[in-house]
């Protein structure tokens, strides 16, 4: 549960890692002008034209000009840390960047269960996310190609059968077109489509028999003065060698000749955990406020709907016939469904053009309680021990 929650939160925060918002503008951002010109950001100084002589007669000799021919250099206004930051804060900013970038984020999550009873429910883990990306253009349109990899380490005792403290997530390859279109006539909203390909590099995906997952989505963004708004829509299709996720039958043996896995004769799966996901859809929004030139506050919420492969797609003699108290069948066939929400609330401080720190609270849970009541999105009231709610601290470096 702890690793699933953090993985889902990583999906929600992943766009914010590679792209955080800033005021939309059709002009080239200041830091882009600086990068293009190669100067320190100061305006180029030119001497003013010398004023004409002020003689009383056209034939009289010109009086010497006592006015200086040059003026003292104008001191340029120092740009803010956010304006100079390498990491883009809006699709519009990213659309004006070019070349290679390398982003590294170190996250630490402290689960709420730690405060309930540290002996039984404590959770403290670190996540290292690496995102190399290349920004290039085709014609006038800027494209961003990226690779995202994540390594995890849990300081506390893992809530897993293996007790493994070190883990790594699947690798994602992405391509996006920031601000490919803007509705200047009515809304001022910029549209940024993206596609992605997931490579199975985690032990969990290997065990589940994952082949790959394809994803596509679009981000709609607009800025109003110092407030940035973002709406994201996306979906994915996963492919597996089997509909079930479980321990596969194997003839592998240890040094004493004992089988690592013991299965019933003729069964391909020895231990069953769940049905593999097939489809998913997500919709989420984020708002951030630039309080100063270095500090911004943000809040985000994402709803994730997923469909899993069905154990069977037709009722047969093995399908339970029992009904619940409302007269509905207790067993269903076809695709299984699961809903999750991911919410976060935090602040980010840009130390300089390369480094920033974040502090906030995140929450991953089902949107409804077992009795059908809507849960509060940002805190898991009543279930603190399951660590659905976590405090996080992040250090990000971008070059």
pTM for the model stands at 0.75
Residues of the chain with pLDDT under 70: 1-78
What angle is formed at CA 68 by the lines to CA 64 and CA 69, rounded to 5 degrees?
95
Closest alpha carbon to 295 in 353, 350, 345, 361: 350
- Domain-wise residue ranges, the chain: 2-22+78-398
Residue 80's pLDDT is what?
83
Q: Are 361 and 394 in contact (CB under 8 A)?
A: no
Residue 90's pLDDT is what?
76
Residues belonging to the chain: 399
Q: Are 16 and 284 in contact (CB under 8 A)?
A: no
- Supply the CATH classification number for the domain 2-22+78-398: 2.40.160.40
| CA distance linking residue 252 with residue 283, whole number of Å | 44
Residue 172's pLDDT is what?
97
DSSP structure string for 264-288: -TT-SEEEEEEEPEEEEEEEEEEEE
DSSP structure string for 23-80: ---SSPPHHHHHHHH-S-SPPPP-PPPPPPP--SSSSSPPPP--S-SS-PPPPPPPPP
Residue 21's pLDDT is what?
35
Residue 139's pLDDT is what?
84
* pLDDT tens digits, 355-375: 999 999 999 999 998 888 899
Residue 43's pLDDT is what?
34
| CA distance linking residue 220 with residue 193, whole number of Å | 9
Residue 60's pLDDT is what?
34
* pLDDT tens digits, 142-158: 999 999 999 999 999 88
Closest alpha carbon to 230 in 394, 88, 359, 364: 88
Residue 271's pLDDT is what?
72
Average pLDDT, the chain: 81
């Amino acid at each position: 549960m702890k690793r699933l929650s953090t993985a889902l939160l990583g999906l929600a925060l992943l766009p914010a890692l590679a792209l955080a918002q800033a005021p939309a503008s059709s002009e080239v951002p200041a830091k882009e002008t600086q990068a293009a010109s190669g100067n320190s950001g100061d305006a180029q100084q030119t001497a003013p034209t010398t004023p004409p002589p002020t003689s009383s007669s056209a034939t009289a000799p010109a009086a010497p000009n006592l006015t200086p021919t040059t003026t003292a250099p104008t001191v340029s206004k120092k740009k803010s840390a956010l304006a100079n930051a390498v990491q883009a804060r809006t699709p519009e900013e990213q659309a004006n960047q070019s070349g290679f970038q390398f982003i590294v984020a170190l996250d630490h999550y402290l689960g709420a269960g730690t405060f309930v009873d540290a002996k039984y429910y404590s959770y403290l883990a670190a996540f290292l996310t690496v995102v190399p990306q290349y920004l290039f253009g085709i014609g006038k349109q800027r494209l961003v190609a990226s690779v995202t990899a994540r390594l995890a380490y849990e300081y506390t005792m893992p809530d897993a059968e293996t007790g493994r403290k070190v883990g790594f997530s699947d690798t994602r390859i992405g391509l996006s077109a920031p601000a490919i279109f803007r509705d200047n006539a009515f809304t001022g909203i910029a549209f940024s489509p993206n596609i992605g390909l997931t490579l199975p590099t985690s032990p969990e995906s290997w065990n589940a028999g994952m082949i790959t997952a394809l994803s596509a989505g679009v981000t709609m963004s607009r800025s109003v003065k110092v407030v940035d708004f973002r709406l994201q829509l996306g979906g994915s299709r996963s492919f597996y060698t089997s509909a079930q996720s479980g321990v596969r039958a194997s003839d592998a043996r240890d040094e004493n000749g004992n089988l690592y896995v013991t299965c019933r004769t003729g069964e391909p799966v020895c231990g069953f955990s769940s049905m593999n996901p097939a489809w998913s859809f997500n919709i989420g929004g984020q708002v951030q406020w630039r309080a100063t030139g270095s500090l911004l506050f943000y809040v985000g919420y994402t709803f994730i709907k997923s469909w899993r492969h069905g154990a069977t797609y037709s009722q047969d003699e093995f399908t339970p016939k029992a009904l619940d108290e409302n007269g509905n069948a207790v067993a269903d066939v076809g695709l299984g469904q699961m809903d999750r929400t991911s919410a976060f609330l935090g602040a980010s401080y840009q130390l300089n053009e390369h480094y920033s720190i974040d502090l906030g609270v995140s929450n991953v849970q089902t949107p409804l309680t077992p009795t059908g009541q809507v849960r509060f999105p940002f805190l898991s009231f009543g279930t603190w021990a399951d660590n659905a709610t976590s405090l996080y601290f992040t250090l990000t470096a971008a070059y």
